[in-house]
Structure 1
Amino acid sequence: MLKDIIANKKLIAKLAKNDFKQKFAGSTLGVIWAFVQPVVTVLVYWIVFDKALNAGTQGTKAGIQAPFVLWLSAGIVPWFYFSEVLSAGTVVLQEYNYLVKKVVFPINVLPIVKAVSSLFVHAFFVLFTLVVYLLYGYGVSFYILQVIYYSLSMMALAVGIIYLTSSLCVFFRDMAQLVNIFLQIGVWATPIMWNFDGMVGSMPKWLAVILKLNPMYYITSGYRDAFISQTGFWTRPALTAYFWILTIIMFVLGTHVFKKLQSQFADVL
């Protein structure tokens, strides 16, 4: 599977670019909508939590206080990407069924196409967040480069999951709805709009452990470490090891199921 991905990297790049453009084909503003939506979402959350509910500043585990809009942005940036990839990637085989039915087309690259396509907006959103931090007077350090590491880590996790969900969705169409429900729960189970570091002392230890088992806890915390706390991922060796073990397991499981069912995709679609 990895050899096929590397061998078809140019095809993946071309399809990802076309996929990104196709999402907004026919609209007046075109791909601009892809960048407007996440920005508006952050503004809405900022108005609701910071202004209406007076959330104020949020503290990190490093003891640094940050305005709520900065703290929220660092956590919600990766979630936008993760949720977009899972939603779009789960139905990728149905969307590209005309390619699936072609005997010579390497359909195992299609989940990768969705993961790469979503990177365009993600990269913009990271830069947008960085600009907001600079406007608030927060300097940029070497640790900001960790965003690249955490982005690639999240992409690896998402790809493994959508190999599994996309292959199952061909035979069980309700999988797409289940994934959306999972994402609705996940956005609140992940410390994006609530502060895990500020609540960990008041919650049972078993609950704190369960919440940390969510792999997106590692990612969102990592983005905040890069933007706010300025601490390295190497300072969390146990959590890093757990994340990568889980990611590898998901990738192996997802690609295995995909390869097992691949011969039947064309018949069902």
Structure 2
Amino acid sequence: MVRMWKDFWASRKLIWKLARNDFKTRYAGSYFGVLWAMVQPVIIVLVYWFVFQIGLNNATAELKQGISVPFVLWLVSGIVPWFYFSESLSNGTNALLEYNYLVKKVVFNIDILPLVKTIAALFIHVFFVLFMLFLFALYGYYPGLHTLWVVYFSACLLIFVTGVCMLTSSLVIFFRDLTQIINIFLQVGIWMTPIMWSLEDLLAKYPILMVLKLNPLCYIVYGYRAVLFQTGSVASLGWMNIYFWAVTILVWLLGSHVFRKLKVHFADVL
């Protein structure tokens, strides 16, 4: 795993160039180009906002006991990191399949391809973070030094999802159905993560649901909300800090090990 990170650093200029080209070519040929990458998530947010706030009359959401915040801000602060995770996992899983012509080149370092996809997804993520901060400012939650913690949690998410993609991208070559399984997982996962509903409210009735906090994305969502609403800090997340990084390290150990073991067969299968 350490050797792989050294390879990433040595190839940082190539990774950046490939990520930038990947982002540009994804929407090449369409009239509105990269605008499509921004329009779809915005529409999804508007639909969820209309259903939950207008349809179900949820004007506010309870962040902590006794602290209520505008529902639209509560929703956006949870769904923005999910959008990044979803896009990175979907594209990163198919990285080797998409760049199969590079995989077949003996001299090319294919270890960087999953990372290229997760970095390419950052371009849209940065836009949505800025949009989110603008929306918060409209409601009186102005950015400050505390906002810089969003960079930390985004970096956490990048590292975690890249480790997952190292595993899934190497397995999907031999088991193509994994792509469909991941799509189903993402459809279910958004509801298993406290993005549009409050886990704290359910814990009061069903303490057994504490197990849902073992979802690594729960740490990211809680972190975004804590720093954006200024109700806590990284330290306030307590055991979730240790748990998240322990899971991330395990994912990287497993992902890098499987990737290294199977990479000698990639070109033959493709």
Q: Find the residue that maps to 1:263 and give its secondary structure.
A: helix
Aligned match for 1:78, one of 58, 81, 94: 81
Give the AA of the match of 2:269: V
Q: Take 2:81 and 2:215, find their aligned partners in 1: how far apart are those partners?
A: 14
Q: In structure 2, what residue type is equivalent to 1:262?
A: K
Give the equivalent residue in structure 1 for 2:26: 23
1:206 equivalent in structure 2: 208
The match for 2:184 is 181
Question: Which string of whole-angstrom CA distances, capped at 9 and with x for unpartnered residues, describes residues 121-142 of structure 1?
Answer: 0011000010011111222232
**Identity across the alignment (%):** 54
**How far off is 1:118 after superposition?**
0.3
The one-letter code matched in structure 1 to 2:32 is L
Aligned match of 1:268 = 269
The equivalences for 1:6-17 within 5 A come to 6-17=9-20
CA contact (8 A) 1:144 1:230 kept: no
SS in 2 for 1:58: strand
Residue 208 of structure 2 aligns with an amino acid whose one-letter code is W
Structure 1 partner of 2:63: 60
Aligned Cα RMSD in Å? 1.1
Query: Secondary structure at the residue paired with 1:37?
Result: helix
Distance 1:232 1:186 in 2: 25
How many residues of Structure 1 are paired with residues of Structure 2 in the alignment? 267
More displaced stretch, 110-119 vs 220-229 = 220-229
Q: Higher relative CO (CA 8 A, sep ≥ 6), structure 1 or 2? A: 1
Q: What are the within-5 Å matches in structure 2 for residues 1-269 of structure 1?
A: 1-61=4-64, 63-203=66-206, 205-208=207-210, 210-269=211-270
48-57 or 92-101: bigger deviation: 48-57
Could you say what secondary structure the match of 2:204 adopts? coil
Q: Distance in 2 between matches of 1:156 and 1:143?
A: 21
Q: In structure 2, what is the Cα distance between the partners aligned to 1:62 and 1:147?
A: 23
Please identify runs of 4+ aligned residues in structure 1 that moved more than 3 A. Answer: none
Deviations 1:73-93 (A, max 9, x none): 000000000011111111111
1:234 is displaced (CA, Å) by 1.2
Segment of structure 1 superposing worse, 70-79 or 55-64: 55-64
Amino acid at match of 1:207: L
Aligned partners of 1:24 and 1:31 also within 8 Å = yes
Contact 2:19 2:116 in 1 (8 A): yes
Contact 1:143–1:230 (CA under 8 A) maintained in structure 2:
no
Question: How far did 1:62 drift?
Answer: 6.0
Residue identity opposite 2:239 in structure 1: A
* TM-score, with length taken from structure 1: 0.97
Q: Which amino acid in structure 2 is aligned with residue 232 of structure 1?
A: S
8 Å CA contact 2:202–2:209 kept in 1: the answer is: no
Q: Give a deviation string over 1:192-243, Cα, whole Å, max 9, x none.
A: 010112222111x2221x1010000000111111111431111223110000
Give, in whole Å, the separation in 1 of the partners of 2:265 and 2:169: 13
Partners of 1:248 and 1:10 in 2: CA distance: 25
The TM-score with structure 2 as length reference comes to: 0.96
Structure 1: runs of 5+ lacking an equivalent: none
In the alignment, residue 221 of structure 2 is paired with which amino acid? T
The one-letter code of the counterpart of 1:74 is S
